[in-house]
Structure 1
Amino acid sequence: MKQLILAEKPSVAKDLSKVLGANQKHKNYYEGPKVIVTWALGHLLGLKMPEDINKEWQSWQMETLPMIPKNIGIKPLPKTGHQLKAIKQLAQRKDVSEAVIATDAGREGELVARWILEWVRFDKPVKRLWISSQTDKAIKTGFAQLKPAQQYDTLYQSAIARAKADWLVGLNVTRALTVKYQDNLSAGRVQTPTLALVRQQEQQIEKFRPQTYYVIELAVGEEQARLVQKNPYALREHEQAQQLVNKMSQKNGRVMQVVEKTKTESAPLPYDLTEIQREANQRYGFSAKKTLSLVQSLYETHKIVTYPRTDSKYLTTDMKATMKERLQAVSDFAPEVKTYLKSGAVVQQKAVFNDAKVSDHHALLPTEQKPNYAKLTSDEQRIYNMIVTRFLMLFALPHKKIQQKATVAFDTEQFIFTQNKIVEAGWKTTEENKTSTINWQEGMSVAPNFAIKKELTSPPKPLNEGTLLGKMEKFSLGTPATRAEIIEKLIKSELMERTPSGLQVSPKGKQLLELVNPSLVTPELTEKWEKQLEAIAKGQFSSGAFLQQIENDTKQLVKEVKHSEQKYQDFSLTQKKCPECGELLREKNTRDGKIYVCSSNDCNYRRRKDPKLSNHRCPQCHKKMEIIEGKNGAYFRCKFDGTTEKIPTKKEQKKKMTKHEERRLMKKYSQEEPQESPLAAALKAAMEKK
């Protein structure tokens, strides 16, 4: 009898088959003496759409909202039906005794597999492979420790509750807004409050007015310190600052106290997904989606880092035994690695081992597999360097410094001079000593040497992907695995834009936030939902109670949209009229550039805003020609000299050139050849004499 193993992707299935001895390759699976390894292609099934459940829901009408089906149900996705059919045939084989879920070890991976097993009506025992790295060793260990799938039932319940909640809130509110305001307005349980975070930051920038303020500095020898104030912007006028300086200058100040403290700073913990996305955005300008893709490649293709979609920065205690082997795998990464290995690979940051703070997956780490740097792209190398550098910090000694603070008082006003003396650099190698040139002593007299400096308040910065990810994490908006996808969805739906200075809400997005329900704009409601989903995954909350609450919230949200008196202005409408029906054209962004579409629902007219550039060259100036859509079809036109040409049909393109045409072209190009240079003529004559 054989195990049917279900991986999430063909590449993972290939790796599993090598380790498990499934050497017979077929179109849709690998087979060995004891196993059959097949794969999904991401999601093969999805929740049914409204029109699949109720014919009345096929047309978008306010009367049919809210749509609250008793059972949503699942259906195959159209493009991957062939693979689903193949899995069903394998599942029905008489020699298959059980299935093993080997999809990604997380909420979405669980949903992918469970839906497939439900669809093919698999009624035999099911086990779960739960691994955090794709190395051969991890796969062998994982298969030796398979667990009953029932242990992950709560994770599946959380996943399906999340999918149904997004269906109920997203489809109902989106339909209500779209029907009411006659434009495609996409709202969602997580995407709308995320958009609102970007808009709140913009509003702070818009309200900002620069203010002048003054600071007072005291100089003692080569050192300076600023006046300590509760409100650093308190001195708004130069006269105020001058009066205070005059008052303090009447007599010498005195050193009230000199305090020395030894400060110990432990190394930072390893990365979770959100933190590495934030730092990669800050350092290299990578989008959250790009960073996730790079870490996924390091995990899946190169097998040199652990599972990427993690929300933990901690490790389990049983991982202590693996640390030396991981360190050996990166022994040539930096000179200090050999020192750590010689001293026994001792982890100095003991707090990293904490079972209570690891949920599904531990922090991002290098695996025990030695990397082949030649196979990494430059961007993969950057991300790998970040992960390994943070990992190595666990073995470095804490950073120790002696900090000296000298407080100088002029009557009630105080200045604090701070110096640091590094005792042990430890993991922090970049900080420099800031030693004092003054021998500070309590009671010491200090001359009143003041300077007044004029400064200007600086505006808040727009959110970039890194800072937005931080805010999403703070308010529990989405999960580490879905945050990048949410940002991309907002940009794709034209509610938000990437600009060189940061993220920016589009005019359409600003209006959406005005039109959508206030409870869906603030992150509190979504934060509550996300925490409940986490509780469902841990078996601490009922998925039924959660979905009942979502249904009630959906009804209220739709009701609010129906009764709203807000006005909507479609900023995408142009003043250009449709040549077919006379309605105004709407400008839309697509992958292929900007296009115009008719604003009437009954008209299908569409055309490009700007002509498409072809590879066809102008016969006059030899520059690329544009493709123009005319009344009698498309044709080539040169925007530089106005030359036009008919676009040849496929038949004409294949048609061979006649001999007459060949002679004509040869004659034309031979006439265009430059005249022979004097040097070439002399060489030619010399060669002929020989």
Structure 2
Amino acid sequence: MNRIVVLAEKPSVGRDLARVLNCSKKGNGYLEGDKYIVTWALGHLVTLADPEVYDQKYKEWKIETLPMLPSQLKLVVIKQSGKQFNIVKKLMNQKDVGQIVIATDAGREGELVARWIIEKANVNKPIKRLWISSVTDKAIKDGFINLKNGKEYDNLYASAAARAEADWLVGINATRALTCKYNAQLSCGRVQTPTLVMIAKREEEIKNFKPRTFYGITAAANNIKLVWQERQTKDIRTFDKDLCDKVLMNINNEKTAEVIDVSKVHKKRSAPQLYDLTELQRDANKIYEFSAKETSSIMQRLYENHKVLTYPRTDSRYIPTDIVDTLKDRIKACGYGPYAATASKVLTKPIRPNKSFVDNSKVSDHHAIIPTEQPVSLSNLSDGERKIFDLVVKRFLAALYPPFEYQQTTIKAEIGRELFIARGRTVINPGWKEVYENNFEDEDAKEELSEQILPDINKKDFLKISDIIQTKGETRPPAPFDEGSLLSAMENPVKYMAGENKDLIKTIGETGGLGTVATRADIIEKLFNSFLIEKKGKHIFITSKGRQLLELVPDDLKSPALTAQWEQKL
């Protein structure tokens, strides 16, 4: 009873674990050594039974047989992977095996994969949990030294099973009801349907949008662009054309602008936060037009095969204090080639962790995505892998750099009795922007008043006006969703919960919105594959089939509130 079965999620991870644990003897579907037997699932080996397992009458899709509400949902072995399940079951039930180590992915879905197998195999032996954020040899060794008690993850398993069972009950009953009633193949669910609603609502917003014309005034003086500002509201544009015409008429003959104030403010901006999966998916979509699913797949390879990045399915953008001591090794591992100069600059000084990226309270299951201590040869990475690796490494190095520092100068001048302003910036220390070669679009790029290079100007100076013109533009509708903006809406769907209970709105905000970091890409992919949404260029639109579904589906399934209610109860 002294041998231990280690259950990995995939054969590739199983082989890595076996190598570290000195399990070199090959068996059929496993590797063994003196102490450990390493075996693996192939993703899920066990799943929830189809309706006809409960009663043959459910084999035919008929409205009279609904709702299907089994008193207890059953588990069945997936036919295609039945052979591997029997191997795992036999190993776990061997008399010389006294303990099981769950080494599936350290997350909700990984826990479910393992526990369903153990339950279906009818195994009742002590369970330990390998909980690691990277699959390097060092991480595996450290993980086995610090194995967790399996009971600590009972609640994680319970919540995963509850979601899976609830999704089965809602998805299968609602899909069959719609399909039978309307004689059309229609699929719905508690996450995919509210996501579809958000896309439809965005299209409706765009369709109903009525542009408004706004006006402004600019003056050119001493190579400076001065912008009119309404004194009371501080707005630099107005929808009142008569007001703008009146201001222009009053100042049109003015020849000078008097500088009434020059303020200089020293500002600091910290580096952007480390990546969680959703933020990485957003950036990869914005910069490279990768789909969310594509980014997830690339990240999985960089984590599992190349072992150069940490666990991908995380919703944290921080690292815990116990990772700080490993930062130097991680910098050295990625600090070569295009990253050599910036990495060596970080290593010349002591690393000072701060709350902007180190915070134990902001890390639950897994910390932010960062490089591991394992070096990589960039030539071994595909083009897509190289691009995702580059995003993560630069974000990681930037977090270790000092803040970006600059002096912001604001000039206020009077032309006649009207106020005009201009704003400029002088860089004091590029800080983390060096990592991006000063080519990083931050929030200032979105400000209405753009910054310019300002000459040396003092209060009471008079500037010679060369031109005064009226400007005009139109308000724009919101852009159609692309995958990046849709991920943001799924993460924070509060805007689409008008009229819902405040507690539910608060809950959905606290629990991370619709779906999880691990499932959002699959939900979007499922909507595409079900022909409920389509892509035109990079933008996402609802199809006629999607509109048909929303006309027929019950209101409860259209709102993120259902997910919020479930989260409250979990």
Tell me, yes or no, whether TM beats 0.5. Answer: yes
Distance in 1, matches of 2:411 and 2:15, equals 65
Q: CA deviation at 1:449?
A: 4.5
Distance in 1, matches of 2:48 and 2:123, equals 19
Partner residue, 1:247:
250
Q: Decide which moves more: 401-410 or 443-452.
A: 443-452
C-alpha distance after superposition, 1:276-306 (max 9, x if no partner):
1110011111111110000100000011110
Q: CA deviation at 1:315?
A: 0.4
RMSD of aligned alpha carbons: 2.1
- Contact preservation (8 Å) 1:216, 1:453: yes
Q: CA deviation at 1:434?
A: 4.5
Partner residue, 1:56:
57
SS at match of 2:386: helix
Partner residue, 1:336:
342
Partner residue, 2:226:
225
Distance in 2, matches of 1:291 and 1:324, equals 27
Partner residue, 2:76:
75
Pick one of 349, 363, 370 that aligns with 1:365: 370
Cα separation, partners in 2 of 1:340 and 1:67, compared to 1, 3 Å: same
Cα separation, partners in 2 of 1:513 and 1:256, compared to 1, 3 Å: farther
Report whether the alignment pairs 1:280 with 2:284: yes
Partner AA of 1:401 in structure 2: Y
Report whether the alignment pairs 1:94 with 2:131: no
Partner residue, 1:503:
540
Distance in 1, matches of 2:258 and 2:563, equals 55
Report whether the alignment pairs 1:380 with 2:381: no
Partner residue, 2:421:
416
Partner AA of 1:241 in structure 2: C
Partner AA of 1:502 in structure 2: H
Pick one of 308, 312, 325 that aligns with 2:312: 308
Q: CA deviation at 1:58?
A: 2.8
C-alpha distance after superposition, 1:11-67 (max 9, x if no partner):
000000000000011221000010000000001111112221233333322233222
Pick one of 430, 436, 442 that aligns with 2:454: 436
- Contact preservation (8 Å) 2:316, 2:363: yes
Distance in 2, matches of 1:412 and 1:73, equals 79
Q: CA deviation at 1:419?
A: 1.1
- Contact preservation (8 Å) 2:289, 2:538: no
Pick one of 547, 552, 555 that aligns with 1:518: 555
- Contact preservation (8 Å) 1:348, 1:398: no
Distance in 2, matches of 1:43 and 1:412, equals 73
Distance in 2, matches of 1:313 and 1:178, equals 42
- Contact preservation (8 Å) 1:314, 1:352: yes
Cα separation, partners in 2 of 1:187 and 1:413, compared to 1, 3 Å: farther
SS at match of 1:108: helix
SS at match of 2:356: helix
Map 1:250-649 → 2, pairs under 5 A: 254-332=258-336, 333-344=339-350, 346-347=351-352, 349-410=354-415, 413-429=418-434, 430=438, 434-441=452-459, 449-475=467-493, 476-529=513-566, 531-532=567-568, 543=570
Partner AA of 1:187 in structure 2: C
Partner AA of 1:267 in structure 2: A
- Contact preservation (8 Å) 1:270, 1:314: yes
SS at match of 1:335: helix
Partner AA of 1:305 in structure 2: L
- Contact preservation (8 Å) 2:260, 2:412: yes
Q: CA deviation at 1:68?
A: 1.9
- Contact preservation (8 Å) 1:258, 1:442: no
Distance in 2, matches of 1:527 and 1:43, equals 27
Q: CA deviation at 1:497?
A: 0.9
Cα separation, partners in 2 of 1:441 and 1:95, compared to 1, 3 Å: same
Q: Decide which moves more: 519-528 or 36-45.
A: 519-528
C-alpha distance after superposition, 1:337-385 (max 9, x if no partner):
11221223x1465421111100100000100001122211111011111
Cα separation, partners in 2 of 1:286 and 1:327, compared to 1, 3 Å: same
- Contact preservation (8 Å) 1:57, 1:64: yes
Distance in 2, matches of 1:62 and 1:9, equals 40
C-alpha distance after superposition, 1:573-624 (max 9, x if no partner):
xxxxxxxxxxxxxxxxxxxxxxxxxxxxxxxxxxxxxxxxxxxxxxxxxxxx
Partner residue, 2:448:
none
User: Which has the bigger relative contact order, CA under 8 A and spacing at least 6?
Assistant: 2
C-alpha distance after superposition, 1:292-342 (max 9, x if no partner):
000100000011110000000000011111001101112213312112212
Partner AA of 1:286 in structure 2: F
Partner residue, 1:207:
208
Distance in 2, matches of 1:157 and 1:225, equals 62
Q: CA deviation at 1:116?
A: 0.5
SS at match of 2:299: helix
Distance in 1, matches of 2:354 and 2:439, equals 19
- Contact preservation (8 Å) 2:57, 2:65: yes
Distance in 2, matches of 1:348 and 1:355, equals 12
- Contact preservation (8 Å) 2:222, 2:464: no
C-alpha distance after superposition, 1:109-147 (max 9, x if no partner):
000000000011111111100000000000000000011
SS at match of 2:557: helix
Distance in 1, matches of 2:226 and 2:554, equals 50
Partner AA of 1:201 in structure 2: R
Distance in 2, matches of 1:210 and 1:381, equals 42
Partner AA of 2:247 in structure 1: L
- Extract unaligned runs of 5+ from structure 2: 441-450, 494-512
Q: CA deviation at 1:445?
A: 7.2
Q: CA deviation at 1:438?
A: 4.5
Q: CA deviation at 1:405?
A: 1.1
What number of residue pairs does the alignment pair up?
A: 531
TM-score by length of 2: 0.89
Map 1:116-195 → 2, pairs under 5 A: 116-195=117-196
Cα separation, partners in 2 of 1:299 and 1:501, compared to 1, 3 Å: closer
TM-score by length of 1: 0.74
- Contact preservation (8 Å) 1:3, 1:96: yes
- Contact preservation (8 Å) 1:348, 1:396: no
Q: CA deviation at 1:256?
A: 3.8
Partner residue, 1:649:
none
Sequence identity (%): 44
Q: CA deviation at 1:528?
A: 4.0
